[in-house]
Structure 1
């Protein structure tokens, strides 16, 4: 089951609507203020979750009047709205999760959402944060990137937590062979795919994989 989560960050409406049409999902969760984008687009999510400290009350009332179920949480909680949404997606048996509205001006919220990718990774469920310029994923095993499917011109790799050991890159402008990347290492920024396929292999650790376009 493919699940789409709409967060309360910055959303390019034209991009998001086109993305939703081109990538249909089986289940849609609005996380707090993310519902405001859906209201403007006249689309109903399957669930709305959050503490609703930042969403307009009239937007919530609009969805409730149309029968959309709501899971409310108190603002003084230990989990973010995005974390709650991801956990709901996993509880419902999602096999793929995509997140829109997780980037924007609040760097703390964005970093929190990136850290929440670990929830899906531990469950073995592919999960990505997408906006008009970036696709962000977390990997704990080797992967191959197809140049014809890449999301933009640049590929950046960052160690996420513990060191990434024996990191080897093939098919990139800047190759690596058996490198140990630590979390304070920026050597993986702004690489480019030069072959039809690019291989990323490593023995241990987790990699944040960011595909970007200007």
Structure 2
């Protein structure tokens, strides 16, 4: 079983087919999680929610009552806690429900401090064990995480670009079989090797490194040639 979770980032940043993705997931018997205000947003979308997780400080009292009347498994927390609501949802999904994979929506937009918490959460020992089973998706990006080793990164059909972002110190980082390759990079600080591309008619590239944690972001432009008028 997989899990799909929605946090409360602005809906303008959601994938345009979010509703269809969640409907398909529900029909497959996957777990649907609402994270804080994300639970209300799922309810407003007409989704049947399996778990609501959070301190719910972003809900009005009547909105919280609506969630309580419609969700069987509600995980309450207090605002003053060591883990974020998203981290609590990850713990619930993998530890309590034993899911094989978790896709998070609404985890990248809005407040930048929230986004950075979600980006770096896989560095915590408790969550690093799940790093390669977590994906963050919004309208323009898919973010996945990798621990050291050899990986084959498959191209997602609707994305043109990719970036490789060491989140920690890395040793002998290599990108092979891409438009721009990289050989034996060693670094101690986070850095973004951005705007890379898959080779024409080659839908994968090789990624390897001997130390650290790396994020791979596949991305696409939205209204690249916009004008003010």
Asked whether the 8 Å contact 1:121–1:138 carries over to 2, the reply is no
2:197 aligned partner: 192
Mark the CA change 1:47 to 1:33 in structure 2 (over 3 Å): closer, same or farther.
same
Name stretches of at least 5 consecutive residues in structure 2 with no aligned partner: 222-229
Once the two structures are TM-superposed, the CA of residue 125 in structure 1 deviates from its matched residue by: 5.4
Matched, 1:88 2:95: no
Once the two structures are TM-superposed, the CA of residue 175 in structure 1 deviates from its matched residue by: 0.6
Question: Equivalents in 2 of 1:151, 1:97: separation in Å?
Answer: 20
Asked whether the 8 Å contact 2:43–2:49 carries over to 1, the reply is no
Tell me the SS of whatever aligns to 1:177: strand
Mark the CA change 1:67 to 1:138 in structure 2 (over 3 Å): closer, same or farther.
closer
Count matched residues: 211
List structure 1 runs of 4+ shifted beyond 3 angstroms: 21-25, 117-121
Mark the CA change 1:198 to 1:125 in structure 2 (over 3 Å): closer, same or farther.
closer
1:4 aligned partner: 4
Name stretches of at least 5 consecutive residues in structure 1 with no aligned partner: none
Asked whether the 8 Å contact 2:55–2:77 carries over to 1, the reply is yes
TM-score (norm 1): 0.89
TM-score (norm 2): 0.84
Asked whether the 8 Å contact 1:44–1:63 carries over to 2, the reply is no
Question: Equivalents in 2 of 1:120, 1:13: separation in Å?
Answer: 25
The structure where strand makes up a greater share of residues is 2
